[in-house]
Amino acid sequence: MDKIKIYYSKDKDTIDIWFGNPDHEVISEEVGEGLILKKDKDGKVIGVEKIYTTKTFNAQKSFPVELVMS
């Protein structure tokens, strides 16, 4: 598996989490509540995008992030 990549855009208020190569994204499918699945040409989910991040998590100015790795 590729490394998981996490991007937070303060300007767009989105978080993108990639399990695969973002360049392989062919289709995006909104599955509800501002959650978007990013899929490759075979329909495999290679990433997830959460829109309206600070509004969803009721954060004031930016999204607080704690990275936990095990």
Work out the pLDDT band at 70, boundaries 50, 70, 90: very low
On whether the CB atoms of residues 9 and 64 are closer than 8 A, the answer is no
Q: Whole domain around residue 31: which residue ranges? A: 5-54
Q: How far apart are CA 70 and CA 59, in angstroms?
A: 26
Classify residue 27: in a domain, yes or no.
Answer: yes
Classify residue 69: in a domain, yes or no.
Answer: no
Structure tokens at 63: 């999204």
Classify residue 42: in a domain, yes or no.
Answer: yes
Classify residue 67: in a domain, yes or no.
Answer: no
pLDDT at 47: 96
Classify residue 66: in a domain, yes or no.
Answer: no
Q: How many structural domains compose the chain?
A: 1
Residue 16 phi/psi, 5-degree rounding, is -115, 130
Within 2-69, where are the H helices? Answer: 53-56
pTM of the model: 0.76
Classify residue 43: in a domain, yes or no.
Answer: yes
Q: Which tops the pLDDT comparison, 65 or 30?
A: 30
Percent of the chain having pLDDT more than 90?
Answer: 47
On whether the CB atoms of residues 38 and 18 are closer than 8 A, the answer is yes
Mean pLDDT of the chain: 84
Query: pLDDT digit string (tens) for 7-41?
Result: 888 888 888 999 999 999 999 999 998 999 999 99
